Structure 1
Amino acid sequence: MFSKAIKRIALAGAVLSFSVAAQAQQEIKIGVIYPLTGAAASTGAEMKHALELAADIINNGTKEAPTLPFAAGGGLPNLKGAKIKLVFADHQGNPQVGASEAERLITQEKVVALVGAYFSNVTATASQVSERYKIPFLNPESSSSTLTQRNFKYFFRTTPHDDLFVHNFFQFFKDIEAKKGVKVKQLGTFNENTLWGNETTKLETKLSQEMGYNVVKTITYPAKSTQLTSEVQTLKAANPQVVMQSSYLGDAILSMKTYKELGFSPDMILANNAGFTDTEFRRTLGKDADYVITREVWSPDLAKNNPLIKQVNDLFNSRYKIDFTGNSARTFTGLMTIADAINRAGSVEPEAIRKALIETDIPGSKLIMPWKGIKFDAAGQNTLGSGILVQIIDGKYNTVWPFDIATKDVVWPMPKWDQRK
């Protein structure tokens, strides 16, 4: 009697263990850390939507983009159809919160990898935590060059970095002089003062000196500023031809309003992405957003060269009533990349995932980005990414550089505020 009871308990335990194992096999937790509240909440919302779309495609498939990886749906085939489960964390734009949320996701939620975190300074702290716990961290958007100069083994970045982007600015100056006769010499820099903005300022100053451009004024302002009047007055007094600007959403909008209020009209505002590529930037400013040029990594008009761009953007638009931006398109690509690595690893063990990331080789034809592909170097940096420049005209982003893939001619200079319709 006693032995039969023991057998029943053992059998029940075995069934329970099998059930737990089966459930674990059905679900792969990936932690995602983004600014879901605060000044960049709308940016975070767009990136959250991109993650949700990517996970839905992996788990359930899509007929609208049949050549996209995982378009067949059914989860990860090499893990018996295991489904991706996203576990969201809000870093609020705060590096300390990002670090604590990374630790919570790893230790309490038991995620197998982390994706994030848009703000470079938050990515820096959150990825330090993942490195300590030896959990892979996939960074789709943060562009501070130093992030891949830390000798980390578990950090991988799919986007190009600011060293490349700032070089693109100066190549654009050379190209526009050679092909359009526009001579740029006097520059001003106007950047927020966190890791990203400060590093961008250093790169812009260094390359200006090396390439013979004169920086007439360098201004770094406090992140999350609520007024920029004195900074813009100082910049206006220096009279730069071109303002090279790095701002997140709140300060990008604030600076444009202040430029108009004070009648500051440089020949061009050349922005370093971020707030200038958020849907809310154009929605809030309306026509006042027009003519700004910003570096980008994605634009819907590039669909003429890659049908996958339109197919996936249409899916995104039908669900959320907005188009992808360079931010959300990179976030989508980041989740597809980590899913590809986990699938190839055939395992949720961190070392196996890390090894698969090292071996990543995704061709450009499988991406919605206008890149040659995704392949990481020893530092974890994708070596096949590239940048473009887009200009806002009639409320839409248009590719204007490189000139050989441009869909519209660049409008230069920007019309003065009192000459706009």
Structure 2
Amino acid sequence: MTITRRTFGLGAAGALIAPVAAPFVRRASAAGPTIRIGVVNSMSGSLAAYAQEGQPAFEYMIRKINAEGGIRSKGGAQIELVMADDTSQPARTAAEARRLITEEKVQLLTGTILSAQMLALTPVLDELKVPTLSVWAGGAHSSYMFTLGYPYDRGYAQTMHDFVVSLRDDGKFPIKTAVMSYSNYEAGQQVNRFLTEKLKASNIEIIGEAALDIRAQDQTAAMVRIRSLKPDVVVGLVTPRDGILLHQARYNLNYHGSIFCGGTGGYSDLSLWKDLGQEIGKAVLTRNLFGMTGFSAGAKIESMQKIIAELRDVAKLERIGQGAIQYAQAARVLQQVLENAVSLDSDALLNAFKKLDIPYGDPNLYIAKPQGLQFAEDRLLKDGSAMFIQWLPDQDQQVVFPKIFAQAAPRPKS
């Protein structure tokens, strides 16, 4: 099974699903009570890389939960997924969510729901009052939305800041100046604002900005600007698509004079090698580049290693990156919420989200959270931290930060 930006496989079942706008239903395999969960994913369009990798892992985990007895506190209720593709269009996210709630009568919502979709979805959730779990958004503007994404401030910005400062202070990298280069949309802009303030406070001079137009077909102009400024470090939040274009431009200009570090997909997604090709990937990804991620196959986390093995050996997924792990984690979060909720009423589900607790060391904690997984008052993760990796020529990754998960020290390649 090969998962690409255009097609995706369905876990161990191996069925191919076309990324169509109309919903389709994954029905519980056993008779009895069911809990309907609506899944709004970006299975097509510019943001499809996240969901195409993640959805097969999510469906596998839900099948596993159902097979192992379903939601035991609800009489063994089986989870039924009602799925829709928003085609990476925020307005469609809102429309599909409204239909799933009002017509399909789902009791919870989940899905990719990146930041732009989160903003469009907020009025619908405030009106219809259905608890929702976003897999990737960096914010949660509705009181009915919780997210596994990295918070803009204490997640993305803090982790990138801490890594850059660690390169300077612990790794003795000569870092005095920075250019902020980020995907120019809601999440990228918000992270850039917080990150700029943090870097300045740590005595790193911001000498320029190279925002990446998310509609552009080429990022050469941004790379030319970076090359002209010659910063010690280039840093920011970059989507997978913008990352591919940025790395292609860096290769074409043969520019290696700065350290590039950022998150998440544009620097660390496994799809980069496939889309860039071996020659470009080896030339730029392994040279003065570090990527922020919540997952890496070599991270020293026992529960992460076990879910990797299960998704590979049992689910038979060929593509297991941070998208797959993030979605597997979402399934476990929803399972705990449903188990702990005193009923399936909206208020009860909200309260269960607020009390969620998957501590560090729990076998169901798959992402790198030294403080465990709980939601804060803002419905974002209390522990918003992530890891940084460096790429190897064989397309493997090494975790280099933080030390608790690190396999190797970060190395420069000039």
TM-score interval for Structure 1 and Structure 2 normalised by the shorter chain: 0.7 to 0.9
Matched, 1:274 2:265: yes
Whole-angstrom CA distance in 1 between matches of 2:150 and 2:397? 20
Contact 1:116 1:123 in 2 (8 A): no
Q: In the TM superposition, what are the counterparts of 1:76-115 in structure 2 within 5 Å? A: 76-115=71-110
Cα deviation, 1:314-361, whole Å, max 9, x if unaligned, reads 221233443532233122212211221112115322221111112212
Match in the other structure for 2:350: 354
RMSD: 2.0
Letter in 2 for 1:160: Y
Ranges in structure 2 where 5+ consecutive residues have no aligned partner: 1-29
Task: Say whether residues 1:332 and 2:339 are aligned partners.
Answer: no
| Higher helix proportion | 1
> Could you say which residue in structure 2 is the equivalent of 1:41?
48
In structure 2, C-alpha distance between the alignment counterparts of 1:331 and 1:321, rounded to whole Å? 13
**Partner Cα distance (1:305, 1:280) in 2:** 23
CA displacement 1:115-161 (0-9 Å, x = unmatched): 13342111222243122211001123222xxx24x4x3212123431
The one-letter code matched in structure 2 to 1:173 is V
Please say if 1:237 is aligned against 2:228: yes
State the secondary structure of the residue aligned to 1:115. strand
- Percent identical pairs in the alignment equals 21
Q: Is the 8 A contact 1:299 1:397 kept in 2?
A: yes
Q: What is the CA-CA distance between 1:398 and the residue it aligns to?
A: 1.3
Distance 1:343 1:207, change over 3 A: same
| 1:301 aligned partner | 298
2:137 to 133, 142, 151: 142
Per-residue deviation, 1:114 = 0.9
Q: Which moved more, 1:28-37 or 1:376-385?
A: 376-385
Cα distance in structure 1, aligned partners of 2:87 and 2:257: 33
* Aligned amino acid, residue 29 of structure 1: R
In the other structure, the counterpart of 1:160 is 150
Task: Assess, with a 3 A threshold, how the Cα gap between structure 1 residues 266 and 245 changes in structure 2: closer, same or farther.
Answer: farther
Q: 1:45 to 1:259 in 2, by over 3 A?
A: same
Contact 1:141-1:327 at 8 Å conserved across structures:
no
Distance 1:136 1:110 in 2: 13
* Paired position in structure 2 for 1:188: 179
Question: What is the SS of the residue equivalent to 2:298?
Answer: helix
Secondary structure (helix, strand or coil) at the match of 2:182 reads strand
Aligned-pair CA distance for 1:28:
1.3
Judging changes above 3 Å, is the alpha-carbon distance between structure 1 residues 174 and 224 closer, same or farther for their aligned structure 2 residues? same
- Does the C-alpha gap of structure 1 residues 180 and 359 become closer, same or farther in structure 2, counting only changes over 3 Å? closer
Letter in 2 for 1:101: E
Assess, with a 3 A threshold, how the Cα gap between structure 1 residues 190 and 35 changes in structure 2: closer, same or farther.
same
SS at match of 1:39: coil
Q: How does 1:54-73 map to 2 (within 5 A)?
A: 54-60=61-67, 73=68
Q: Kindly tell me: are residues 131 and 331 of structure 1, through their superposed partners in 2, closer, same or farther at Cα, counting changes over 3 Å? A: farther
**TM-score normalised by length of structure 1:** 0.83
In structure 1, C-alpha distance between the alignment counterparts of 2:171 and 2:307, rounded to whole Å: 35
CA distance in 1, matches of 2:368, 2:182: 27
TM-score by length of 2: 0.84
Deviation at 1:220, TM superposition (A): 1.6
Q: Deviations over 1:73-109 (max 9, x none)?
A: 1211111111112222212222111111111111111
Output the CA distance in 2 between the equivalents of 1:53 and 1:350.
26
The 3 A distance-change label for structure 1 pair 250 and 169 is closer
Q: Is the 8 A contact 2:110 2:135 kept in 1?
A: yes
Residue 162 of structure 1, CA deviation: 2.5
Gaps of 5+ in 1: 1-22, 61-72, 416-421
Larger radius of gyration: 1
Give the aligned partner of residue 411 of structure 2.
411
Query: Which whole-Å CA distance do the structure 2 matches of 1:128 and 1:321 have between them?
Result: 36
Aligned to 2:15: none
